[in-house]
Amino acid sequence: MNNPFDILFEPVPIGPVVAPNRFYQVPHCNGLGHRMPRALAALRGVKAEGGWGVVCTEEVEIHPSSDLAPNIEGRLWDDGDIPALALMTEAVHAHGALAGIELTHAGHHAWNLISRTPALGLSSVGVSGFAPWQTRRLDKEDIRNVRRWHRAAALRAKRAGFDIIICYAAHNLSLAMHFLLRRYNDRRDKYGGSLANRTRFLRELIEDTKEAVGDSCAVAVRLAVDELLGEEGLSAQGEGYEIVALLAELPDLWDVNISDWSNDSATSRFAKEGYQEPYIGFVKSLTSKPVVGVGRYTSPEAMVNAIRNGVMDLVGAARPSIADPFLPEKIRDGCIADIRECIGCNICVTGDTLYTPIRCTQNPTMGEEWRRGWHPERIAPRQTAQEILVVGGGPAGLECARALGQRGYTVTLTEAENEPGGRVIRECRLPGLAEWRRVVDWRLTQISQLPQVSLYPGSPMRAADVLESGFKHVIVATGAQWRRDGKRRTVLRPLPGHNLPHVFTPDDWLRQGFDKLSHQAQPPQLTGQVVIYDDDHYYMGGVLTELLAGQGCQVTLVTAAPLISYWSQYTLEQGRIQRRLTELGVTFFVQHKLQAIEPDFVRLVSVVNGRAQDIAADSVILVTDRQPNDELYHSLKPALAEGKLSSLRVIGDAEAPNIIAQAVFSGHLAAREFEELARTETPFKMEYIDLD
Ligand code: ADP
Ligand code: SF4
């Protein structure tokens, strides 16, 4: 029988080149960029190995006047940058895929902190973000220069081995897009005014690139066709449509999406698979050239539908290719249940926003391909026939047991609760977090295919049980729970009033009906005024606020940070969270910490001027630190010293509470390191500059 997804494996001509299939890894940032080219080449190579027919770079700066530091992007300022990029094209070509490069002049988005040249803008305006300097207004000579730099970069890209050269006009991050936008472009020359004039620069970039390298390289355009700003920006009903109509047949390929980046990479909390289709669906009606679109596609049915319904010709993906570089191969082999589906959490994005190597919640090998030699599908086989006990079936324990089982070890995994999954299986019931369940589902599916891994839910283990079980190797993954005393970074001592009956923690919602140890049989039924103190700063405070405000409570969200859900800036969610909670009528107190809880009010104190104020509170929820469940580990340690155990390791939140991605990583690391020689020096390779 034919594979029902055969259409995904048809080759697609793109100008002078041919993509071997319809899987197209769109450009994505990674925090490696020009600083870690070997690591990046290995990452891209693994995608090609996993079946992605086209594998692209991230944004690549074409000139020092487009220096995106502190973000770490690709760089092609001069010939000296060619060898680093050639590492990537070699890695991609080795698996028969095409390599694409996204050339970027970032205009007023570049801060030029390294190059110290003035940023270039359509007029002299403040650079993007909250920085106190402005651009130099581009004159005619500057525009000619940018075109020249772009052309030179295209020629260098060709020498580096790229097959597809992308002219970038998306995410509001490039000069070509700035020219298109009425709100930036107030020029009175031939580059301003009418839409045809505002499109001129992008048209020229495409023409220049085709003239320079179009004989052997495809020339693509990456365009934001809708900015979700209505009249103020490009839209599928307005100028986004008209730009595609104006340039329809000029590029060899259209890669279309919505802007800005937070819209394009919307998290699963705010958008579902295929969410861009209503905006990009028109493009194919205007051009005969192949069209790429994205929408966090992980299901082959949705991909096939997007193609058959005429939305796109190639299925674009950044995050699904990060979570599972072998997604195309798994579809081809009919191993659909083995696809490690992206959960839409945007931890991968924090590589760019925090200027550090990319990480992924689902795929602990992401970013570690070169520096630790990790492969997403392969792992070193076991050394001996040892049997291992893993205690705790949250993300850390599940990943550890799965990866040990993949290595061939015999593993017993015990979980206290009747349903494995730890914090993830609880949290995925909160508003917007349903897709996070995939962290557990994928691991349980894999474990079910490993006869040497036995899972025992409903089996809490004490130290005596562990020792009686006779296992010599024990890995403790017993997680953590929310503190009830309010201690965290801003409250250094137990909070006065924390033990009053109207004070709760997230566990009162998460553990109800789940946890035999919970002191709540049912989630608290709160009404009236609720104060949530968020000293965790990621999603939990905001999600509980959303839950309770949605149930009709009058919620006040208090944080010592300058923004609510402060850390969610790095996952591109902060603005959306604030908007949603504002719409629900939530009151915010930022830069305030909780000083005391009384029976019917709380005392807040400003972290700016120390001024105190009381606000009414019928209930209080403390979202502060979590307490590691590490008693089991510590009570087993003497047994290790006495030789009753051969090895003992604590992983995940039981070792140090962290985000889910770190629990998965920690479990994976423990499995990789089991019976392997421990490195005493830095446990991964570094990309030092060769001083010879
Ligand atoms: P992590 O993120 O580190 O995986 P979680 O809190 O999500 O941590 O998961 C830890 C899991 O360990 C939970 O499902 C919890 O029920 C389980 N657990 C905790 N203590 C024990 C124990 N003594 N025996 C078996 N399972 C336990
Ligand atoms: Fe998907 Fe999250 Fe992995 Fe990014 S970090 S690829 S959003 S699972």
Say yes or no: 101 and 134 in one domain. Answer: yes
What was the pLDDT predicted at 654? 98
Query: Does residue 679 lie in a domain region?
Result: no
| pLDDT value at residue 515 | 46
| Residue 638 belongs to a domain | yes
The total number of structural domains that make up the chain: 3
Asked if residue 189 and residue 174 are part of one domain, the reply reads: yes
**Same domain for 293 and 393?**
no
The alpha carbon of 585 and the centre of ligand 2 are apart by a number of angstroms equal to 30
- Among the atoms of ligand 1, which is closest to the Cα of residue 462? 23
CA-to-CA distance for 27 and 6, rounded, in angstroms? 25
Q: Catalytic one among 168, 191, 241, 566?
A: 168
Question: Domain holding 285: CATH number?
Answer: 3.20.20.70
Residue 361 Cβ inside 6 Å of ligand 2? The answer reads yes
Domain of residue 602, CATH code: 3.50.50.60
Q: Show which of 626, 654, 687 is a domain's final residue.
A: 626
Residue 322 beta carbon below 6 angstroms from any ligand 2 atom? yes
Catalytic residue among 264, 441, 507, 536: 264
Asked if residue 453 belongs to a domain, the reply is yes
What does the alpha-carbon distance between residue 544 and residue 168 come to, in Å, rounded to a whole number?
A: 39
679 confidence band (pLDDT: 50, 70, 90): low
The per-residue pLDDT for range 3-14, each reduced to its tens digit, is 899 999 999 999
**In this structure, are 588 and 657 located in the same domain?**
no
CATH number of the domain to which 398 belongs: 3.40.50.720
Bridge pairing between strands 12-14 and 17-19: antiparallel
Residue 391 lies in a domain: yes
Q: pLDDT confidence of 427, banded at 50, 70, 90?
A: very high
Task: Verify that 187 and 316 share a domain, yes or no.
Answer: yes
CA of 320 to the centre of ligand 2 (A): 7
The DSSP 8-state label assigned to residue 617 in this structure reads -
What's the CA gap between 286 and 248, in Å, rounded? 6
328 lies in the same domain as 407: no
179 in a structural domain:
yes
Same domain, 161 and 287: yes
- The pLDDT of residue 516: 43
Domain that holds residue 321: 6-353
- At residue 517 the predicted structure's pLDDT band, cuts being 50, 70 and 90, is very low
HSE-CB of 316 using CA atoms within 13 angstroms = 26
> How does residue 355 score in pLDDT terms, banded at 50, 70 and 90?
very high
169's tokens: 């006009």
Residue 488 has pLDDT above 90, yes or no: no
Residue 644 belongs to a domain: yes
For a mutational test of ligand 1's pocket, the pick from 468, 478, 627, i.e. the residue with the most ligand atoms closer than 8 A to its C-beta, is 478
In a domain, 377, yes or no: no
Q: Identify the band that residue 629 occupies on the pLDDT scale cut at 50, 70 and 90.
A: very high
Q: Is residue 368 part of a domain?
A: no
- Among the listed residues 110, 250, 230, 246, the one whose alpha carbon sits nearest the alpha carbon of residue 182: 230
> What's residue 185's pLDDT?
96
- In the listed set 353, 372, 401, which residue is the last one of a domain according to the structure? 353
Tens of pLDDT, residue by residue over 435-455, are 999 999 999 999 999 999 999
Instruction: Examine the domain organization and report whether 262 and 409 are in the same domain.
Output: no
Please give the model's pTM, rounded to 2 decimal places: 0.97
400 and 265 in a single domain? The answer is no
29 among known catalytic residues: yes
| pLDDT, position 271 | 97
Instruction: Count other C-beta atoms under 10 Å from residue 418's C-beta.
Output: 10
> Are 260 and 329 in the same domain?
yes
Q: Is 662 in the pocket of ligand 2 (CB under 6 A)?
A: no
In short, whether 594's Cβ falls inside 6 Å of ligand 2 is no
Q: Is the pLDDT of residue 605 over 70?
A: yes
pLDDT average, residue stretch 604-614: 98
Q: Which of these is catalytic: 28, 63, 171, 537?
A: 171
Contacts of 515 (CB under 8 A, 6+ apart): 417, 507
Same domain, 617 and 634: no
Of the three residues 308, 333, 353, the one that is the final residue of a domain is: 353
- Tell me the pLDDT band of 683, cut-offs 50, 70 and 90: confident
Query: Which atom in ligand 1 lies closest to the alpha carbon of residue 652?
Result: 3
Residue 399, phi-psi category: left (phi > 0), alpha (psi -120 to 50), beta (remainder): alpha
Same domain, residue pair 621 and 635 = no
